[in-house]
Amino acid sequence: MARLPQLMIALALVALVAVSGCSAAYAPSAEWPPVWSASFNDSLGYASTPGMYAYDATLTASRVDYLDPHVDYLCKTSGLMFGVEMCSQVAVDDMLFVMAPGSASCCQCCSYDQGCGPLERDWAAKGTYQGVVNINGVPSDKWLVMGGEANYYYQTVDRHIPILVNNSGNQLFYYDTTSFSTMANPNFFDIPSYCRSSAMCDGFCAKIRSM
Ligand SMILES: *[C@@H]1O[C@H](CO)[C@@H](O)[C@H](O)[C@H]1NC(C)=O
Ligand SMILES: *[C@@H]1O[C@H](CO)[C@@H](O)[C@H](O)[C@H]1NC(C)=O
């Protein structure tokens, strides 16, 4: 019995070392799975829209759907006439297409060479890890990724899945973590034939092309 307190102290020390050793070694990975999809809420303070994101690095493709096309700058300045229908931005085959599927209209925004390809799987992992913060009550790992401006990437601590992307404060994608999947329907990246022969987009797309 006399040895018990010492044993307790020894165990407590082991636990302490294990915990501090653990936090020192804690380095979450921000690398994306090769394929994933999730629905999101793009929120700008004055406006917000639900949408869907799909990513497939094996096809070098990605797709963003905005239910309200007027919230996204690329969509609303593209020259396409949107009514109430959604706007899709599909990066596939070395080109970013902007589509109004509801009215079967489309334009070509900019090429992968011009910087309009899908993100790399490790785009956020190349950033600076900034610790754990709460996003809507969910403990999340945070990275700062410097482009022209500061971008922030957040993923949940428990499942390592995206919860927020802050593009320099210009776009805030809050992902619905319950909708996250490591699958994306390959049909998401199919481009209708009216897109292949469509004109180049106006607006912000034209600016990107001339950069
Ligand atoms: C989207 O975000 C805005 C601002 O945070 C919020 O007001 C709105 O309710 C959210 N919409 C959805 C569908 O989550
Ligand atoms: C988003 O990032 C910008 C800096 O790029 C920052 O000023 C802003 O506060 C951030 N917004 C949120 C909700 O974290």
Domain tally, the chain:
2
- b/e burial code for range 181-193 (CB count within 10 A of at least 16 → b): eeebeeebbebee
Residues 60 and 147 in one domain: no
Q: How far is the CA of 67 from the centre of ligand 1 (A)?
A: 13
Residues 105 and 164 in one domain: no
* pLDDT given at position 82: 87
Nearest CA to ligand 1 atom 5: 43
Mutational test site, ligand 2, from 44, 46, 152, max ligand atoms within 8 Å of CB: 152
The CB of 150 under 6 Å from ligand 2? The reply is yes
66 domain-assigned: yes
Q: How far is the CA of 192 from the centre of ligand 1 (A)?
A: 31
Residues 42 and 94 in one domain: yes
Q: Which of 123, 122, 125, 120 is nearest to 141 (CA)?
A: 125
Radius of gyration of the chain measured on its C-alpha atoms:
22
Residues 106 and 140 in one domain: no
19 domain-assigned: no
Q: Give the type of residue at 53.
A: Y
Residues 45 and 88 in one domain: yes
Q: Which two tokens stand for residue 163?
A: 């919860």
User: What residue numbers bound the domain in which 152 lies?
Assistant: 128-175
pLDDT, tens only, 9-29: 444 444 444 444 444 456 689
8 domain-assigned: no
Residues 49 and 109 in one domain: yes
29 domain-assigned: no
The CB of 39 under 6 Å from ligand 1? The reply is no
* pLDDT given at position 200: 98
Q: Which two tokens stand for residue 20?
A: 């501090």
pLDDT, tens only, 108-157: 999 999 999 999 999 999 999 999 999 999 999 999 999 889 999 999 99
**Which residues are paired to 11 by β-bridges?**
none
* pLDDT given at position 115: 95
Residues 108 and 187 in one domain: yes
Residues 46 and 148 in one domain: no
